[in-house]
Amino acid sequence: MPRPPRRRRPGCSAHVTVRCNNRAFDLQRKEPRLFVLHALARAAEKFGARIYAVAVMSNHVHYLIEPRRPDELPRVMHWLNWYTAMGLNRLLGRRGHFWEARYHASWVSNRDQRHVLNVLRYIHGNPFAAGIAPGFRHEFTNYGSYASGTADGITTHHDHLAPAVPSSGPKPGGVCGSVSAFLSPVSAGRQTRSEIDRMGRSIVAGWTHGGDGAEGLVRTPREPREGDRSLRRPGGSSRREGVRPP
């Protein structure tokens, strides 16, 4: 039975969720998470998409992404899932599907400030809800970029929030969905774009310096082309993608 077509709405961003195959905790270590951020930066540059929010968890990833056109979201996500599947399989020494089934996407109107802020809060609050961070700020979300009012080199501040970021720091909050509640004070660090790029380049170009037995050669995956079977299988295995197994 064919899959139902996805609804595509102009003037909206997409809240996208992708999960590791079998919901395995394949993103627990720092190196795989950095590679996901590196791939996200490449996808944003390659397709001209705006990334408003990201949270890389141990077994799934959240994005709030606005493609140049609504009909480009499948192309962006196909490339991103393909590229990360190839790189992460090499990095972790595994084979087969890395991502589980299709990605889940729900559209968020860019004119609905409350909806936008609640989605941002939900994405950035994932580490706190999972009990792995004392607050919203976490090194593998872009909450710190919003809270400090600075650019991180990968994501873009959403129009509904960027003008309201206080220059003197976060203020105590009101109800969920308001800017002041979203910018609640927390403590933690965040990754820099240079560190993300350095780690990403090391993975796709040659050697990775990760510990715990992760050290090994990772070959650059071939770009998908029209006619490839992999174009119909975003999270496909290395055998289907035409890349020789290690």
The 3 state secondary structure assigned to 140-189 is CECHHHHHHCCCCCCCCCCCCCHHHCCCCCCCCCCCCCCHHHHCCCCCCC
| Greatest alpha-carbon span in the chain | 56
Q: Is 53 helix (H, G, I), strand (E, B) or coil?
A: strand
Closest CA to 155 of 168, 146, 166: 146
Residue 234 to residues 80, 111, 139, 229, Cα–Cα distance (Å): 8, 31, 27, 10
Specify the pLDDT at position 4. Answer: 60
- Every domain of the chain and the residues it spans: 12-232
Place of tokens 């930066």: 41
Specify the pLDDT at position 199. Answer: 61
Tokens read off for 83: 């590229």
- Spell out the per-residue pLDDT of the chain, length 246, in tens: 555 655 666 789 999 999 999 999 999 999 999 999 999 999 999 999 999 999 999 999 999 999 999 899 999 999 999 999 999 999 999 999 999 988 999 999 999 999 999 999 999 999 999 999 888 888 899 998 888 888 888 899 998 775 444 433 333 332 233 333 444 333 333 455 666 666 666 655 543 333 333 333 334 455 555 555 444 444 444 333 333 444
Specify the pLDDT at position 87. Answer: 92
CA atoms within 13 A on the CB side of 32: 25
Cα distance between residue 130 and residue 72, in whole Å: 32
Specify the pLDDT at position 17. Answer: 97
Place of tokens 């308001």: 178
Specify whether the CB–CB gap between 50 and 66 falls below 8 A: yes
Residue 196 to residues 57, 83, 168, 202, 230, Cα–Cα distance (Å): 16, 16, 28, 10, 27
- Give the domain 12-232 fold: Alpha-Beta Plaits (3.30.70)
